[in-house]
Amino acid sequence: MNIKGFYIDKFIDFEKKLNGESITNFHSFRKDAIAKFKEIDFPTTKNEEWRFTDVSPITKQNFIPANLISKIKIDKSKVEKIIFTGFDFHLLVFVNGIFEPSLSEIKDLPKNVFVGSLKKFQAEKEDLFYKHFNKIVSNDTAFNFLNSSFSVDGFAVYVPKNIVLEKPIQVLFINGSEDENILISPRNLFVVEENSQMKLIVNYNGLNNQKYFSNIITEIFIGENAIVDYYQIQNENDNSYHIEKIQAIQKDKSLFNQFNITFGGEIVRNDINSKLDGEYIETHFYGLYMINGKQHVDNHTFVDHAKPNCMSNELYKGILDENSHGVFNGKIIVRQDAQKTNAYQQNKTILLYKGATIDTKPQLEIFADDVKCSHGATVGHLDEVSEFYIRSRGVPKELAKSMLIRAFANDVIETMKITELKEQINHMIFQHLHQIEI
């Protein structure tokens, strides 16, 4: 049986476990998705958008949908070891994509704010749910339809207008099984209305070294004059696969800061997109990935300047060792009406070993004439002159190289606004440096 046939058969098993939920509007959405999944192939390197990423290791294996296996038990001590600490936050914990209330802690929320599972959001705020769910994301690959077919949960955040959510929300995804390769399909949604502010930390971790496949879709609605800081830290095991699509839409005078930090995963593909659908909007995309072995990380970003007087800034950095492979494809489009646009993009990569490779493709498409736009990419090795200068001060070779690598990463890390999170990310970088040969 081919892989598509496997998932189509598993959908029948999946339906049997839904009981009364099989007659809901949400399940009609799933059935529509599996019908479309049947008609579309998984992307290959013959597809331009996937030219540098071979997903056949994912599509040649059978991953059992997470809700078809026995529930994995996680105790709080495991959670406490992998969450970010040192500051107050609301905590949502998902085990294989399913909300785990006993491990979560949400309290003292402002009136009418919702922080919880997508399933509960659908039940309690049905009108809001259907007003936003699946309204802006483009389902254009078999992976997207696969997510829509098997999704049962995910996180949901709703912040009504004129509310500043002081405490960050930390969402922890713990994925994996003791003995089976599983498919995890979270579907996430957050809505931040006008004049409101929030910070979100999404923390992806693996249970063990067992293979699994995380296939994720996140939709973000940012209202007029709203501010959203979105930190995504992916520290899954090196046998895992992670494919994620993030789609945001921003309204007038909003600010969106998106931080994408990647350490783990055998094959990782992030599609991070924002549509600037108003005036005087700011969008900032920051990315850092540190990989080694045979890891493959592909970051695709897309900033769509649809209206005038907006600004976007993008900085992505990669640190590649051994036989790892990085891909950066960053696209900025400035549409005809988007006069007075300022758009900047930079991609910088350090290769620590001759076997490491990078394919980088910064793109600008400009259809307006009164704009300031630039993009660029650099690929190189550690600066030997700087290394020599540091070593001449009596610093050992390995430490000198470590200092240069951390300085290279610092441009991204220093843009983070939560001091304690920044310190812990720096510690993760330090730990990761001990895993690579420098």
Q: Quote the pLDDT of residue 398.
A: 80
Per-residue pLDDT for 410 more than 90?
yes
Residue 188 in domain: yes
Quick one: pLDDT band at residue 25, thresholds 50, 70, 90? Answer: confident
Residue 253 in domain: yes
Residue 255 in domain: yes
Q: For residue 218, what are the domain limits?
A: 3-277
Taking the CB of residue 68, how many other CB atoms lie within 10 A of it? 15
Residue 427 in domain: no
Could you give the C-alpha distances from 42 to 65, 148, 338, in angstroms and in order?
17, 15, 35
Q: How far is residue 115's CA from residue 125's CA, in Å, rounded to a whole number?
A: 12
* 280, 225 contact by CB (below 8 A): no
* 319, 408 contact by CB (below 8 A): yes
The model's pTM is: 0.95
pLDDT digits (tens, 9 = 90+) for 164-195: 999 999 999 999 998 889 999 999 999 999 99
Percent of the chain with pLDDT over 90: 85
Number of compact structural domains in the chain: 1
Residue 190 in domain: yes
Residue 270 in domain: yes
CA angle, 172 as apex, 407 and 427 as ends, to 5°? 25
Residue 262 in domain: yes
Beta-bridge partners for 331: 302, 363
Residue 65 in domain: yes
Between 359 and 16, the more confident residue is 359
Q: Quote the pLDDT of residue 265.
A: 97
